[in-house]
Amino acid sequence: MNRSPMDSATVSQTTTAEGTGPLRRFLTASELEPWVPWTLNTIRCKTSRREIPHSKCGHTVLYDWERISAWIEDRAVEPEEASR
Based on C-alpha coordinates, what's the Rg of the chain?
15
Q: From residue 80, give the alpha-carbon distance in Å to each of 77, 83, 84.
A: 9, 9, 12
d(CA 77, CA 75): 6
Domains of the chain, by residue range, sit at 21-73
- Assigned CATH for 21-73: 1.10.10
pTM above 0.85, yes or no: no
User: Do residues 44 and 28 make contact, with C-beta atoms less than 8 angstroms apart?
Assistant: no
pLDDT (tens digit per residue) in 9-36? 445 555 444 567 888 899 999 999 999 9
- Each residue's pLDDT tens digit, 42-64: 999 999 999 999 999 999 999 99
d(CA 8, CA 11): 5
**How far apart are the C-alpha atoms of 27 and 64, rounded to whole Å?**
7
